[in-house]
A and B are shown apart, each in its own frame.
Chain A
Amino acid sequence: MKDHTATEHATDRTELINAVGLHARPSVKLTQLAKTFACRVEIALSADGPWVDAKSPVKVMRVKAPRGAVLHVRTSGPGAAAAADALIALVRGGFGEETNQPADLRHG
């Protein structure tokens, strides 16, 4: 899944496993983390985009990414690989919030 084609670019993707998706609190955490990197950081719900600026909480909230969606991360510029890794780790860690069981164990 990881595709570090050059030091200047990185793409990766992961499922949103936290209970509420990319909702207010997770969005704020994601944008705060993205802003710590100098490179361009973008997210999308599909590899084809549309890509949005992961440093803008207004834009990230407009994506309305629900729990279970696959979040794509695309970075370019200095520190691109580290930025992509950090964002993916935040999402995989459930934004430090409580997570539910994986979707395939859900009933009803």
Chain B
Amino acid sequence: MAELRLFGRSAAPGVAKGVVAVLDAARRPRREAAGTQAEEASALQLALSQALAEVEALAGRATGEAADMLGFQVAMLSDEELVRPALEGVGAGESAAAAWEAAMEVEIAGYRDARDDHFSARTADLEDIRDRVLGHLEPGGTGPVIPDGSVVVAADLPISRFLAIDWARGGAILLTQGSSTSHVAMLARARGVPMVVGLVGAANAMAGREALVDAATGEVVLDPTEATLAIFAAKADREMTAAAASATFRLRPAVTRDGTRIALNLNASSAHELEGLDPAICDGIGLVRTEILFHGPGALPDENAQYEAYRRIVAWADGRPVTIRTLDAGGDKPIPGVTVDGESNPFLGLRGIRLSLRHPALFQIQLRALARAAAHGDVRIMLPMVTVPAELEAGRKLLGEALASLARDNLPAGHPKLGIMIEVPAAAIAVDHFDADFFSIGSNDLTQYVTAAGRDIGTVADLADPMNPAVLRLIASVARHGRETGREVSLCGDAGGDVRVIGALLRAGLRSLSVAPAYVGAAKQAIAAIDLRDATP
């Protein structure tokens, strides 16, 4: 069989090889051969008590959010009201499984259709309860068994299923739906389980096939060839080495061999991503992407929802600086109702600060929320895609208005520093024209704009190289300007976490990098191996 490549989005990095186990393949509750009503009723009660015992055991071992979610399932399973409608169905002559499934469908529909996200998000818990009880009603009695080390494929994965698998034996999670901000994704990152969400492909057709997973890139290979297996084996080796290095280097400060201290910050999208991480692994948060807040179902986030999200990140950072980027929608990050559809070239269109200045009311809400979060710590506001100084000044004026309106409302607020991303070549070349409090180089966009090559266009992706001397010269010139004028300069693109590029970035004069949490150990290790006294480029 020819190998097949599938792609999804990374939710937790890592590589894995294993046989695919499909979790939610079509279930067939035995509708036929019902016993007497009394037998069916007692079978249902028995299945419920077995399910309850299992979830109680899982809850006993869980901590934090997972324990809360399992506690909810325990409460529901302990409530006689849950089984009452199903027992009525049994009383009307249905089998235990059919009655349970029908009754739970009604219960679940009430959650699925809820207008409030917090309730609709519980749909997965109710489905999990339903399936666990059904598993005990089926012949054999234990429900779907997932061998350890499997590549688990499902639409979504309930926390209780995640916790029931021994991930120490390897394996990975591939979800056709799912979200990188779900609780399961958070647990997967904390436990080092590779996880991909939004995988495009027919889950049922994957059952039993061998799969290679590179969860950092979201790539999955089914029925791999010998050549692909060899490439993955090498990758897995490197990951193992990097993981071992992480353990050694993560909690140490980032210092080059010649003793130069480098600030190493984290990139993050939400407090969820940071849960379970020790803030001591970093010097601060170098980039908070706020787009994720605007992607939930339903309305755009209000000021309080944003404030709460930012405040949680600031609380996690525990006094360390937190640089939050204002909405960077457009380009490859559309938001319905805000970004413009059908631009002939979205990367050269209405995105980043250009979009925010077109939606001043929306921008004002975000600036107010950011200023309120700044009352709790060292928050810095960063404007993306700035091209001309007038955009920075317009942002500064709106921030001033936000602070004035908060003062009128008697709401506590801080005065955050205001900086800009350097990702448009015009801003990089004429950086001395921008009176920003700090600069942060967005190496992904800067590289693709300087080389006129998109990273997402496979045929030209190798041209989009941050090691291109033109890119490095621009970085060096921005770093020099920062040194000369006393403004902080950092870099927050993927290049900062790329061990092959870090040396060139430090030699270009950068002393502050921001990387994904998973790359902290490897980046610090790479930094420790660099001697800035060497003249080698």
Contacts and interface: CB of A to CB of B under 8 A. Distances in A.
Interface string B117-149: 011001001000000000000000000000000
B157 to A, nearest CB: 18
B302 interface: yes
Contacts of A24: 68-69, 72, 118, 122, 125
B303 interface: yes
Contact of B76 (A21, A58, A98, A105): A58
Contact of B368 (A58, A62, A107): A107
A56 B72 contact: no
B82 interface: yes
Interface hub of A20, A21, A107 (most chain B Cβ within 10 A) = A107
Interface in B306-324: 307-308
Interface hub of A20, A58, A105 (most chain B Cβ within 10 A) = A58
A58 B110 CA distance: 11
B163 interface: no
Contact of A66 (B75, B111, B116, B305): B116
B308 A100 contact: yes
B300 interface: yes
A58 B75 CA distance: 8
Interface in A15-36: 19-21, 23-25, 27-28, 31-32
Contacts of A108: 300-303, 361-362, 365
A94 to B, nearest CB: 13
B411 interface: yes
Interface in B158-215: none
Contacts of B304: 100-101, 105-106
Contact of A21 (B110, B118, B411): B118
A7 B61 CA distance: 44
A28 B302 contact: no
A54 B359 CA distance: 45
B110 A64 contact: yes
A8 B153 CA distance: 56
A57 B110 contact: no
Contacts of A64: 110, 114, 116, 119
Contacts of B303: 106-108
Given A57-B75, A58-B81, A66-B116, A107 B302 contact: yes
A25 B119 contact: no
Contacts of B118: 20-21, 23-24, 66
B32 interface: no
B368 to A, nearest CB: 7
Contacts of B484: none
A101 B413 CA distance: 14
B332 interface: no
Nearest to B369: A107
A59 interface: yes
B299 to A, nearest CB: 8
B153 to A, nearest CB: 27
Interface in B419-451: none
Interface string B347-374: 0000000000000011011001000000
A34 to B, nearest CB: 12
A17 to B, nearest CB: 11
B409 interface: yes
Contacts of B305: 100
B460 to A, nearest CB: 40
B79 A25 contact: no
B314 to A, nearest CB: 13
B331 interface: no
Interface in A78-108: 98, 100-101, 105-108
A105 B368 CA distance: 12
Contacts of A58: 76, 79, 81-82, 107
Contacts of A23: 116, 118-119, 122
Given A20-B118, A24-B68, A108-B362, 14 more contacts: A24-B122, A25-B68, A25-B72, A28-B71, A56-B81, A57-B75, A57-B78, A58-B107, A61-B76, A61-B111, A61-B119, A66-B115, A108-B300, A108-B301
11 contacts: A24-B69, A24-B118, A24-B122, A56-B81, A57-B76, A59-B81, A61-B122, A62-B110, A107-B364, A107-B365, A108-B301
